[in-house]
């Protein structure tokens, strides 16, 4: 499928809006379904004091609300920069069909936005990561998974 430059321009315009309004860094994103923008987002991390308020997540949340669904299959994400690991995880969870981006993660790193460090750390063994991870009550927590497995009206 060929990307539509108008949608990328919309995402880039949102990146300027985020920066110029001091809402966050220079990132913007739109979610498109059937040729229509159904979700828009800009980086609002610093203005909302929310490290998850990335442009892609904001656009995905809005698109999900528009469709009244947590699944975005049949949709495309246009974003001004290659998504960070958190945003890429959301792309997978939302089941978007494809992602179009302009700036690369290498471009972002040159300007002080270094998500590559997160990509690298996540690729390490759990015991070798920068942030320590410990499972204190695995036998108790597994009971929730057991209950889920037996739930007849679950959505997967």
Backbone angles phi, psi at 27, to 5 degrees: -135, 140
- Asked if the model's pLDDT at residue 52 lies above 90, the reply is yes
Element (H, E) at 29: strand 28-33
> What pLDDT is attached to residue 137?
86
Residue with tokens 């002080």: 112
Element (H, E) at 153: none
Please give the average per-residue pLDDT across 90-118, as a whole number. 95
Give the catalytic positions in this structure: 56
- Asked if the model's pLDDT at residue 144 lies above 80, the reply is yes
Candidates 85, 34, 32; CA nearest to 62 is: 32
Q: How many CB atoms lie within 10 A of CB 143?
A: 9
* pLDDT digit string, tens, across residues 21-33: 999 999 999 999 9
pLDDT category, 100, cuts 50, 70, 90? Answer: very high
Across the chain, what does the average pLDDT equal?
95
pTM of the predicted model over 0.75: yes
∠ CA 70-1-66, rounded to 5° = 25
> What pLDDT is attached to residue 99?
98
In this structure, what DSSP letter does residue 129 have?
S
């Amino acid at each position: 499928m060929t990307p539509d430059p108008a949608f990328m321009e919309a995402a880039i315009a949102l990146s300027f809006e985020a920066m110029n309004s001091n809402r966050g860094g220079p990132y913007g994103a739109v979610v498109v379904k059937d040729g229509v923008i159904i979700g828009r987002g800009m980086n609002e991390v610093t203005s909302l004091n929310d490290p998850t308020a990335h442009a892609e997540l904001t656009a995905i949340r809005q698109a999900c609300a528009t469709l009244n669904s947590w699944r975005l299959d049949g949709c495309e994400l246009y974003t001004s920069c290659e998504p960070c690991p958190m945003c890429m995880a959301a792309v997978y969870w939302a089941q978007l069909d494809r992602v179009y981006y302009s700036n690369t993660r290498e471009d972002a790193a040159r300007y002080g936005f270094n998500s590559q460090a997160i990509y690298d750390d996540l690729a390490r063994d759990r015991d070798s990561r920068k942030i320590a991870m410990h499972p204190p009550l695995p036998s108790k927590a597994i009971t929730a998974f057991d209950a889920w497995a037996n739930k007849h009206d679950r959505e997967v």
